[in-house]
């Protein structure tokens, strides 16, 4: 059976049950955890939907977001990088402070019985002197407004911003979420007030079999507490490529103009 120490260091691990004598044993192990050992943790997990990536502030109708169909010869990657890397795309502030009861309901829903999240008595004697929030709750609940009532993400234009590319110009109009990477820097405690900022971290070209001019967009969402300390970072990598039809059209133009895209 995995110890509380292993569970706390790896919140995504399979949960376990605690009762009776085992509870006392796990409580002793929990008290020996050093806070410094849990300062940073990176986890790769299932990529979120584009709706979640738009700062988790609303459900988005993809049909409202026009995409580009630009010939690769007309696409200036250096200009796009200069204009977009580092740009603030959206920011949001948590509608509610971090609260114990939502944490309890979330843990019961997903079957996570980690006492660091569920047991105030055990958590009070641990390295954080209280209940902390499961990392799985961070993006969708306490750091943004939630899905209801609807709230436009500041810094975005719902009529013109492409949901997959976050408004970054690209030759293609097909998006695939490639990777999600989380880094947890500090524990989030009950009572904290969280906010987030989403920025473009990188834009680069990397060919794929379908499209030699595919564009990759990396976003970074930073989460802050009420003391403006970073508690987590979320890096997401999107692949934007041309459709087979667009690749064929661009190839026909190359033949007609004698260019080699």
Tell me whether residue 233 is exposed, middle or buried, using C-beta atoms within 10 angstroms of its C-beta: 0 to 12, 13 to 18, 19 or more: middle
In a domain, 61, yes or no: yes
Q: How far apart are CA 223 and CA 188, in angstroms?
A: 10
Q: How far apart are CA 170 and CA 167, in angstroms?
A: 9
In a domain, 238, yes or no: yes
With b for 16 or more beta-carbon neighbours within 10 A and e for fewer, the 46-78 pattern comes to: ebbebebbbbbbbebeeeebebbebbbeebebe
In a domain, 16, yes or no: no
Q: What was the pLDDT predicted at 139?
A: 63
Q: 58-89: per-residue pLDDT in tens?
A: 333 344 444 457 888 888 999 999 999 999 99
Q: What was the pLDDT predicted at 150?
A: 61
- Where the chain has pLDDT below 50, the residues are 1-67, 153-156, 158-161, 261
Mean pLDDT score across all residues of the chain:
74
Q: What was the pLDDT predicted at 135?
A: 86
In a domain, 52, yes or no: yes
Q: Which CATH number fits the domain that encloses residue 63?
A: 3.10.129
Question: What is the pTM (predicted TM-score) of this model?
Answer: 0.69
The rounded percent of the chain whose pLDDT value lies above 70 is 64
In a domain, 21, yes or no: no
Q: What was the pLDDT predicted at 68?
A: 57
Q: How far is CA 64 from CA 68, 76, 160, 199, in A?
A: 13, 25, 8, 22
Q: How far apart are CA 182 and CA 208, in angstroms?
A: 25
Here the tokens at position 116 are 């660091």
In a domain, 212, yes or no: yes
In a domain, 11, yes or no: no
In a domain, 184, yes or no: yes
Domain limits at 185? 36-98+133-257
Q: What was the pLDDT predicted at 148?
A: 63
| Residues found in the chain | 261
Q: What was the pLDDT predicted at 81?
A: 96
Counted domains in the chain: 1
């Amino acid at each position: 059976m995995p110890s509380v120490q292993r569970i706390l260091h790896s919140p995504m691990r399979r949960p376990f049950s605690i009762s009776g004598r085992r509870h006392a044993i796990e409580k002793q192990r929990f008290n020996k955890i050093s806070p410094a050992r849990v300062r940073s943790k990176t986890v790769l997990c299932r990529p979120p939907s584009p709706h979640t990536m738009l700062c988790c502030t609303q459900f988005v109708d993809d049909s409202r977001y026009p995409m580009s169909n630009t010939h690769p010869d007309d696409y200036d990657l250096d200009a796009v990088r200069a204009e977009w890397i580092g740009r603030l795309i959206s920011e949001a502030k948590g509608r509610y402070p971090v609260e114990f009861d939502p944490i309890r309901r979330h843990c019961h829903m997903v079957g996570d019985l980690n006492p660091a999240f569920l047991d105030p008595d055990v958590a009070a004697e641990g390295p954080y002197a209280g209940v902390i929030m499961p990392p799985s709750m961070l993006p969708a609940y306490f750091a943004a407004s939630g899905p209801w009532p609807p709230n436009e993400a500041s810094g975005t234009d719902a009529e013109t911003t492409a949901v997959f590319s976050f408004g970054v110009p690209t030759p293609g109009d097909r998006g695939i979420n490639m990777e999600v990477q989380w880094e947890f820097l500090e524990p989030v405690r009950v009572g904290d007030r969280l906010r987030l900022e989403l920025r473009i971290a990188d834009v680069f070209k990397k060919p794929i079999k379908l499209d030699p001019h595919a564009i990759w967009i990396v976003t970074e969402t930073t989460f802050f507490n009420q003391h403006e300390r970073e508690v987590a970072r979320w890096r997401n990598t999107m692949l934007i490529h041309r459709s087979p039809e667009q690749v064929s059209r661009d190839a026909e133009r190359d033949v007609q103009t004698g260019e080699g895209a």
